[in-house]
Structure 1
Amino acid sequence: MYRLFLAAAVSLMAGFAPLAAADLVLRAADTHPYGYPTVRSVQHMGELLEKSTEGRIRISMYPGRQLGEEWDTLEQTVFGAVDINRVFLAALQNVAPETIIPSLPFLFRSEEHRDRVLYGPVGDEILASLEPYGLVGLTFYESGSRNFYNTRRPILTPADLQGLRIRVPNSDMNVAMIELLGGNATPMELGQVYEGLRNGTVDGAENNWPSYADTRHFEVAPFYSLTGHSMTPEILVISKLTWDKLSPEDQKRVREAARESARYMSTLWKAQVQEARERVEGAGNKINDVPDRDAFRRALQPLYERFAGTPRLADLVRRAEETE
């Protein structure tokens, strides 16, 4: 995958003339299904673009893994077969090191602090870091707090993860996080997790309320523990091949529509979290608070040195932490 990104980056050396004023339909991919906040938000972005360009630019949405899993669609985006893609930020951590920063556990003090970091100078630099790899970062979509869930027992302390096989996104940092907590990390695409939980290939996973509910993982993993260890966002990207064909004016319109869609997404997200929690609680799942969240924070502190120890990344961490 990394070699493919580099190959695509080299191919971008060739120039592209801006597109003429003609109809342009941008293909957008998302692994989430129709109705999910990220899908609705990209559709909203399409409506804004169609209005601002008087119908010249539209978005055609392909949700629900119609074009493949996230790794598949990212490759397609680099090579221009997909124009716009919403992916979980962890999917890019092994490609652009700066994207690790928002995924560091307990980096954000609150949702408000997260938003000030992501939609400020630090977030802009993280988005810009994708361009050498054939992608242009447009905006972040919030993804709530991530919590552990499993088929065995409540997670109250890091020791409760000892020996559990925990599904993680395919990133080195997520694997290291589970190992530091004493679990056995199992990288797996999200679409495979339900069956993995059901047949015992994995004992648990970690995700936010809507993902826990909408994937139906709550049906087979009834223990949901509110560790709140991460607020890793989603990210909306556009193929650099597509971007470079747009006029500067249309590039501005696309970026503005993307950022407005992030605000729209935030409103949808809050309602989705409430609905998902009510559905899970109504099913009788066992939900527990964590009495000592600092115990998890201390256990995961080595991740900062290992994955954000370079001067460049350490500076981004410092600036994020100092953001008021």
Structure 2
Amino acid sequence: MRIPQPIAGQVVVITGAARGIGAALAQRLAERGAQVALLGLEPEQLAAAAARCGDRAAWFECDVTDPDALATAVAGVQERFGGVDVLVANAGIAMGSPLSLSDPAAYDRVIEVNLLGSIRTVRAFLPLLVRNRGYYLQIASLAALAPTPMITAYGASKAGVEAFALGLRTELTGHGVRVGVAYLSFTDTDMGRVAGRSGRLRLHDLDAAITRIVNGIEHRSTYVYGQAFIRLLRPVRGLMPGVVHLLGRGPAARFETALAQAGPQASSPIGPGGRADTKARANDPDPAPESGSRP
């Protein structure tokens, strides 16, 4: 087992940090002595999350799909902290809809934020990670292992970020940068609660998932499991599409019928994070990067 590196004193950048996994992870790492940079779209939520982290935190308003906004955030992080030791690519949105009923722009946006946003984030911060021989953790999902109907945009994006991160792992070995992928099932966050209600699913404890992620960061693990049972599924992932197909056909048909009756608004990105992304694009189709910090 790899010897853990204490997180105290290290600089950790977390995207999608205004709420949910990102905000909770930032707070836990700050409690362990890390310096944390929180990136996201919601200034008030980011400021509140950073305040909970104490004096070692700063926040930056940033759309991870916008290279200019990312460049501004990188400059701000470098000025505030001097470098980056850990990058957690967590920003993501989701929607639940069959392809035939989904809004094309919303469907494509899920893939843009989750996949291209992660790629652009890593590209922007990579020079600082290489300089510090750091660690990049990509937040993926159980959906990367088990392709699931009605969330095909989300599943495709999470399978994509898994493939991206694991391929990059080999590229970056010679530069001293370690890479990991974290897999989570439905977790008790804002987005998870919305998805859980629609699918009548039991949500997994957020604190327990954060503990597992922090442990993965300290060990710079290649694979991090937000819930223990996911570890058992990775070796049999080849069987998962068939299992999902057999068990999911009936529920998928019923869900499609219900969604068709609900109307187009039912296929919008879910949860406060999804609404924040939709609002940001509606209010400013060509956003100028902004940043804020808490000294």
**Structures share a fold, TM > 0.5?**
no
Greater per-residue strand proportion = 1
Please report the TM-score for the alignment, with normalisation by the length of structure 1.
0.28
Please report the TM-score for the alignment, with normalisation by the length of structure 2.
0.30
Task: Select the structure of larger CA radius of gyration.
Answer: 1
Greater per-residue helix proportion = 2
